Structure 1
């Protein structure tokens, strides 16, 4: 599309040409680490399947978290570096194979994350009205691949919602579903999302954890935000907060767990007020099966006990919770790319300190960072250290002669992609999308409204190009 991006001024020393696959936080931090080092000149192509950067910051962090989503302003500085070129709307495996990409540049860093959901593997999980958190999150953040009909059909009859999981994503889902329309109106959610959430008949939300509160993985900040909802009350059973010696030891040793328990104890005295939506946090509850014929009508859960090693087992005590919508939030896993190895059990690319392993040996010039390297752990900032670790080993390989600047066989990756019929979106094109979202938001008094369809995103680029002549 636009051709004004330049990877940098010419130099008598060939730059190290690196392709980073994935323009989320891990990829952007990798690009930043490459441009900040002084050992070797670099030119970085930051490739993403979407025409927009920022990955899970744009399509993972809940839109009612504007301060957390503002981290993209910080990430944008790396995109503005003259030695970094954003190359969106390019899919590895469709527009270029891994082997072709590796042959075109000197090194490749894969940072495309772990976007697939993990399943519960229980009967009824595939019934209409049963969703993965990844599906719901993609929908309310305006991801262009979101399955809008499936999610909106599930929401349409959802009075009682059960969310399975006790991590930050589960709390995000519970919080968004329990918010009032007035609370969500200022966010950058697409208008159809706001309309569907306002029309959804949600009257109760229950969050289930199969182990006790000492084993929950949410952060204290996310937890506290549940108690700030305008029309909801958080309810906790005091009996769930009675810890056995092993759980108490865990709480004493971990400051986050200790703070979380303090918050939960504050809420144990809450009573439901008329007209408010109850958000119940239930621990020691394992889903056994999802009930229903044509769609979800309930979920069967079994009471659990947790041993000193943190393993949960069933007690045989079973009850049925009414549910019109069940959302599983039990983790993410990575997927493979054609020609790239994948550890199917862990959902990561096999690697050693960031070096991709093929048949147990480091593959020269191939690296990973972020979730596809270590699994879906940590917060956004965790990716900065992770990316720096990977770039450090890449530079070690350059110093050792394993990776050589000038080895790549393509003069310019964007020109090669265009010659193949691809339509890469560059940084000025992304700015056109950004401006279109801001303008759309202004029509309703918001700072921004997310464009959620592929056609709309690419139309914003074409319209900007037409105006520029």
Structure 2
């Protein structure tokens, strides 16, 4: 064991990184933990990957907040590994590195026509409506009929946001610029396509049930889309959650036609494999061609050769997230993860890279929820502690004065990196909450004006300025296309 505390850098301040930091801090080792995040705000996909009208899911943030609020884990935001500091430099200054960078891009879908301008990645759309600072502020919504490919919760989120009346989002933290664009959308019919049957969809029961509770939005499922083979029956017998999903789908299919009078509709089509995006002579989307599939006995499906064309003017693929390579580390491009065994990252020779670890989706791929993330973190930290107790972990700096937090802070300051801290996040958090209180939107469902829990600041420049207690650029103050700032908040930020 080292005579000094073990210095560990965790890269990625989403749930995976925060849980790993928490478990390490309680391991019984004397340890100093720096938690790096490339955005000015923590929480990863909980902040930037969950639809704004799902506050219950966002309650995960409350647990994450309590961990970071303790102060024994130091948050260093607005620092990107590979841009502001390299992996080799981190290895110089820290005894161990834990990568928890998650999955931030869309998995590909290889069908003809998918490159048309009206075809979008679901992750990109989610990042837009969640106010991710590194994504465009605008989005073109001109389609009346839209296809969403995928049968997971992200697909449901996209369909719901596209179909929902914008006024019913105005009690949420939806950014002002997003609300303005959604108000212009002509969409009336959202078609969600899955290639397998009801026993195989990846929706969760809560998400699926809530889909039918949106004001003036009907959910339609075809009675012909309910088939079960031996594999399907086994899946249903093994999972109460899947049985609840099927029950909800059957409930939508059994609705009486005269009860379906909403102005907006979400259609869920099963046994429909996307085959081709149809385009006109100018290359714009005019439809989606799907192939009818059938079960093969084991819960999988095969094509029937029966095709159907659906008139749509835009296509969103929600077939999964994918992780991005990290400069300076090996990467499994097929699985889109850091190659690892038990969280120990493997080098090109297949042997563990001393002191380099992974947890969360960058370790296992974009599967599993919070429970899986915690299990991942536990295994990774167990192996890290074992390596530390074996005397394997040591920063590569020759001068031990260059090891740890202070040396890295000096380096970032020398480079002019405008990093943020936990105290800075608390300033931004309070700012967004006060911004929300200043709004008095009237919702369709209640007819009442109500303040909002928060309104997100979208501009990275503004987020950083608020977090660092510096002056917000004047062109952002009061700009309806940026971040509306109430007078009682703005005066704090005028130097």
Normalising by structure 1, what TM-score?
A: 0.92
Q: How far 1:306 sits from its partner (Å)?
A: 2.7
Counterpart among 378, 381, 386 of residue 388 in structure 1: 378
Please list the CA deviations of residues 52-110 of structure 1 after superposition, one character each: whole Å capped at 9, or x if unmatched. 10000000011100121121121012212332110011111111111111111110000
Q: How far 1:309 sits from its partner (Å)?
A: 3.6
In structure 2, what is the equivalent of residue 447 of structure 1? Answer: 453
In structure 2, what is the equivalent of residue 177 of structure 1? Answer: 162
Q: How far 1:379 sits from its partner (Å)?
A: 1.2
Counterpart among 264, 270, 278 of residue 283 in structure 1: 270
d(CA) in 1 for partners of 2:437, 2:117: 36
In structure 1, what is the equivalent of residue 484 of structure 2? Answer: none
Q: How far 1:381 sits from its partner (Å)?
A: 3.6
In structure 2, what is the equivalent of residue 168 of structure 1? Answer: 153
Tell me if the contact between 2:424 and 2:469 (Cα under 8 Å) persists in the aligned partners: no
Report SS of the residue matched to 2:393: coil
Tell me if the contact between 2:229 and 2:298 (Cα under 8 Å) persists in the aligned partners: no
Counterpart among 403, 408, 414 of residue 410 in structure 1: 403
d(CA) in 1 for partners of 2:416, 2:177: 33
Greater mean deviation of Cα atoms: 285-294 or 60-69: 285-294
Q: How far 1:290 sits from its partner (Å)?
A: 1.0
Report SS of the residue matched to 1:214: coil
In structure 2, what is the equivalent of residue 245 of structure 1? Answer: 230
Report SS of the residue matched to 1:259: helix
Count of residue pairs the alignment pairs up: 453
Tell me if the contact between 2:149 and 2:315 (Cα under 8 Å) persists in the aligned partners: yes
Counterpart among 364, 369, 375 of residue 379 in structure 1: 369
Tell me if the contact between 1:14 and 1:405 (Cα under 8 Å) persists in the aligned partners: no
In structure 1, what is the equivalent of residue 88 of structure 2? Answer: 99
Q: How far 1:463 sits from its partner (Å)?
A: 4.1
Extract unaligned runs of 5+ from structure 1. 1-11
Normalising by structure 2, what TM-score?
A: 0.88
d(CA) in 2 for partners of 1:284, 1:447: 40
In structure 1, what is the equivalent of residue 425 of structure 2? Answer: 430
Note the aligned Cα RMSD (angstroms): 1.9
Report SS of the residue matched to 1:215: coil
Report SS of the residue matched to 2:329: coil
Please list the CA deviations of residues 2-40 of structure 1 after superposition, one character each: whole Å capped at 9, or x if unmatched. xxxxxxxxxx952111000000000000111111121x1
d(CA) in 2 for partners of 1:146, 1:443: 25
Report SS of the residue matched to 1:421: coil
Counterpart among 103, 124, 127 of residue 116 in structure 2: 127
1:148-159 matched pairs, under 5 angstroms: 148-149=137-138, 152-153=139-140, 155=141, 157-159=142-144
Q: How far 1:118 sits from its partner (Å)?
A: 1.1
Greater mean deviation of Cα atoms: 264-273 or 335-344: 264-273
Report SS of the residue matched to 1:281: strand
Greater mean deviation of Cα atoms: 136-145 or 303-312: 303-312
Tell me if the contact between 2:229 and 2:299 (Cα under 8 Å) persists in the aligned partners: no
d(CA) in 2 for partners of 1:453, 1:163: 28
Structure 2 CA distance for partners of 1:36 and 1:462, relative to 1, 3 Å: closer
Tell me if the contact between 2:418 and 2:464 (Cα under 8 Å) persists in the aligned partners: no
d(CA) in 2 for partners of 1:282, 1:61: 23
Report SS of the residue matched to 2:199: helix
Tell me if the contact between 2:285 and 2:313 (Cα under 8 Å) persists in the aligned partners: yes
d(CA) in 2 for partners of 1:465, 1:120: 44
Q: How far 1:454 sits from its partner (Å)?
A: 1.2
Structure 2 CA distance for partners of 1:236 and 1:463, relative to 1, 3 Å: same
d(CA) in 2 for partners of 1:245, 1:84: 50
Q: How far 1:257 sits from its partner (Å)?
A: 1.5
Report SS of the residue matched to 2:218: strand
Counterpart among 44, 48, 52 of residue 59 in structure 1: 48
Tell me if the contact between 1:290 and 1:296 (Cα under 8 Å) persists in the aligned partners: yes
